[in-house]
């Protein structure tokens, strides 16, 4: 076993000048501890307690369907679809084959001033999922965060094209997660995600109140009864800042990352009506809710409320190749292009894009993913499974320390009373116990989230619930 310091110092000796090395050494003393797995030291893992992971690693070797096999041979049932990604299950053969074929045909082609066929085809297929709602264009990105940043920039470009360039304010919602770009963390509102970076979040962003109201809505099945009036907070913000300064409102139709918060009945309709009344764009961040999670192509179709833009990722390619997309109303595109038409010096209409926008592997994966969803009727399958999932989740009512169970579609959460001085302790403990028992769920603050794939069986749902039940009790006994 070598120490973390000894290892970093050895690496630095070959890289750093001795003065820099000396300065670093003096700050390193405080972090010296043993490194049981030196081979894990170089990779700085995202959104992870690296110190904990690197003393107790969980390494996946392979995965198929709803089962992951760890490097130590253990099998783990995936109760969170990877990370809300693998809606059609892991290593879906048709998707994998499409990627393999594409890889040997065209590995990369720029989408700047040239292109290849696949993004055009894929954009058509994505729009086919959501007809008759005015959506006319798809802008491909690399992930959910870049889809969100693209949506914010498109909002600004649209208002500017209309001569409304003073509309620069964005309104998000408390407990919202919109990825990790500076734009995304500014409109998002999860405390730890913002705190370290608060010195440089975007100006002109504010947040309406979240919709979680456990006092009135605890143990609601699906959309809670009370809380449509939370949308009125938007009118308060509009009165405070002036509608003519606000570019867009961005919300997740169901907040996922902070523990599955389905919108109260009537809430989304109200948000839509208020934004439309004031000429403010509405962005639905559907990175989690898109592609069948609610038994419907999007939350937009499930709740029958149409925003001006939809951001999506994850289930877009079944998680097999990183990709995101911004689906926008035709009028946004037309306004920006008309504006460019009127400018004699204009070339590019929207100065935005990524080297990997429309990447051939992502597009091939995406087209195959939509084929699989369609051929296997997976959205319908999810819709049929949803009542069973709902009953199963709510069968856990009464477990120790529990304060709420929430669900909508194939996503649900258990919420617990927590000690505010150690907010992650209880749910981290439950997560670790479930993992040791062979089931992967997700922990986030006071909540445990479950989101099985669209190919999950009732038996697999039963197992998730059994393991959860056992380990919530065991955890409560332990502390």
Residue nearer to ligand PLP on the CB measure, 145 or 301: 145
Count of residues of this chain found to bind ligand PLP when the rule CB under 6 A is applied: 14
Stretch that binds ligand PLP, among 31-39, 141-149, 162-170, 358-366 (CB under 6 A): 141-149
Distance spanning both ends of the chain, measured CA to CA: 32
**Least distance (Å) between residue 305 CB and ligand PLP:** 16
| Closest CB to ligand PLP: residue number | 144
**Least distance (Å) between residue 454 CB and ligand PLP:** 17
Q: What is the C-alpha to C-alpha distance for residues 424 and 371, in angstroms, rounded to an integer? A: 40
Asked if residues 289 and 297 have their Cβ atoms less than 8 Å apart, the reply is no
Residue 160 CB contacts under 8 Å (≥ 6 apart), including other chains: 339
Stretch that binds ligand PLP, among 140-148, 326-334, 341-349, 385-393 (CB under 6 A): 140-148
Q: Which of residues 104-123 bind ligand PLP (CB under 6 A)?
A: none
For ligand PLP, the binding residue among 313, 326, 362, 411 (CB under 6 A) is: 313
Residue 389 CB contacts under 8 Å (≥ 6 apart), including other chains: 407, 410, 412, 452, 461
238 forms part of the interface with ligand PLP (CB under 6 A)? no
Tokens of 188: 């998002």
For ligand PLP, the binding residue among 256, 259, 297, 445 (CB under 6 A) is: 256
145 forms part of the interface with ligand PLP (CB under 6 A)? yes
252 forms part of the interface with ligand PLP (CB under 6 A)? yes
465 forms part of the interface with ligand PLP (CB under 6 A)? no
- Of 349, 371, 330, the closest CA to residue 122 belongs to 371
Stretch that binds ligand PLP, among 157-165, 173-181, 194-202, 291-299 (CB under 6 A): 173-181
Q: Which residue has the tokens 């693998």?
A: 86
Containing H/E element for 334? helix 330-342
Q: What is the C-alpha to C-alpha distance for residues 86 and 27, in angstroms, rounded to an integer? A: 42
- Of 321, 268, 276, 320, the closest CA to residue 298 belongs to 268
The binding track of 272-291 with respect to ligand PLP, each residue x by CB under 6 A or -, is -------------x-xx---
Radius of gyration of the chain (CA): 23
Q: What is the C-alpha to C-alpha distance for residues 363 and 152, in angstroms, rounded to an integer? A: 23
143 forms part of the interface with ligand PLP (CB under 6 A)? yes
- Of 438, 370, 382, 436, the closest CA to residue 124 belongs to 370
Residue nearer to ligand PLP on the CB measure, 256 or 262: 256
* Dihedral (Cα; 67, 431, 47, 412), 10-degree rounding: 80
**Least distance (Å) between residue 173 CB and ligand PLP:** 11
Stretch that binds ligand PLP, among 172-180, 195-203, 262-270, 427-435 (CB under 6 A): 172-180
Stretch that binds ligand PLP, among 137-145, 218-226, 349-357, 464-472 (CB under 6 A): 137-145
**Least distance (Å) between residue 379 CB and ligand PLP:** 19
Stretch that binds ligand PLP, among 149-157, 250-258, 350-358, 360-368 (CB under 6 A): 250-258
Q: Which residues pair with 139 in a beta bridge?
A: 326
**Least distance (Å) between residue 287 CB and ligand PLP:** 3
Asked if residues 358 and 111 have their Cβ atoms less than 8 Å apart, the reply is yes
148 forms part of the interface with ligand PLP (CB under 6 A)? yes
Residue nearer to ligand PLP on the CB measure, 354 or 402: 354
Cα angle at 292 between 289 and 297, to 5 degrees? 85
Q: Which of residues 179-218 bind ligand PLP (CB under 6 A)?
A: 179
177 forms part of the interface with ligand PLP (CB under 6 A)? yes
Q: What is the C-alpha to C-alpha distance for residues 243 and 278, in angstroms, rounded to an integer? A: 6
- Of 212, 213, 222, the closest CA to residue 390 belongs to 222
257 forms part of the interface with ligand PLP (CB under 6 A)? yes
Pairing of strands 324-329, 309-312: antiparallel
Tokens of 236: 């308060």
**Least distance (Å) between residue 257 CB and ligand PLP:** 5
Query: Using CB under 6 A as the criterion, which residues of the chain lie in contact with ligand PLP when the complex forms?
Result: 143-145, 148, 177-179, 252, 256-257, 285, 287-288, 313
């Amino acid at each position: 076993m070598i120490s973390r310091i000894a290892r970093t110092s050895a690496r630095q000796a070959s890289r750093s000048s001795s003065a820099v090395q000396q300065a670093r050494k003096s700050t390193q003393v405080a972090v010296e501890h043993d490194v049981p797995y030196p081979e894990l030291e170089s990779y700085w893992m995202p959104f992870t307690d690296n110190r904990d992971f690197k003393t107790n690693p969980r390494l996946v070797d392979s995965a198929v369907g709803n089962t992951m096999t760890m490097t130590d041979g253990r099998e783990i049932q995936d109760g969170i679809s990877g990370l809300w990604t693998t809606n059609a299950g892991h290593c879906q053969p048709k998707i994998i084959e499409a990627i393999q074929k594409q890889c040997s045909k065209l590995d990369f082609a720029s989408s700047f001033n040239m292109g290849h066929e696949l993004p055009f085809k894929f954009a058509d297929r994505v729009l086919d999922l959501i007809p008759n709602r005015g959506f006319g264009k798809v802008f491909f990105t690399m992930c959910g965060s870049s889809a969100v940043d693209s949506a914010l920039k498109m909002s600004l470009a649209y208002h500017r094209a209309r001569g409304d360039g003073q509309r620069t304010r964005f309104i998000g919602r408390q407990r919202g997660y919109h990825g990790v770009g500076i734009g995304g963390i500014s409109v998002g509102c999860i405390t730890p995600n913002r705190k370290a970076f608060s010195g440089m979040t975007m100006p002109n962003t504010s947040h309406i109140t979240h919709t979680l109201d456990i006092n009135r809505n605890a143990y609601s099945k699906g959309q809670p009864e009370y809380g449509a009036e939370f949308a009125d907070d938007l009118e308060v913000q509009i009165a405070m800042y002036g509608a003519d300064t606000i570019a867009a409102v961005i919300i997740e139709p169901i907040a996922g990352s902070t523990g599955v918060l389905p919108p109260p009945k009537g809430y989304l309709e109200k948000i839509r009506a208020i934004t439309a009344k004031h000429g403010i764009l509405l962005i639905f961040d559907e990175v989690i809710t898109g592609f069948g999670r609610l038994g419907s192509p999007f939350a937009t179709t499930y709740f029958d409320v149409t925003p001006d833009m939809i951001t999506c990722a994850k289930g877009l390619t079944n998680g097999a190749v990183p990709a995101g997309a911004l689906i926008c109303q035709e009028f946004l595109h037309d306004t920006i292009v008309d504006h460019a038409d009127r400018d004699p010096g204009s070339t590019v209409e929207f100065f935005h894009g990524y080297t990997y926008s429309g990447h051939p592997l992502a597009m091939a994966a995406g087209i195959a993913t939509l084929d699989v969803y369609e051929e296997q009727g997976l959205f319908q399958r999810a819709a049929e499974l949803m009542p069973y999932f709902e009953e199963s989740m709510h069968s856990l009512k009464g477990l120790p320390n529990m304060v709420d169970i929430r669900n909508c579609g194939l996503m649900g959460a258990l919420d617990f009373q927590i000690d505010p001085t150690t907010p992650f302790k209880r749910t981290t403990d439950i997560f670790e116990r479930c993992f040791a028992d062979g089931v992967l769920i997700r922990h986030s603050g006071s909540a445990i989230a479950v989101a099985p794939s669209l190919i999950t069986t009732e038996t697999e749902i039963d197992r998730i619930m059994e393991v959860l039940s056992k380990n919530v009790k065991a955890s409560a006994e332990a502390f």
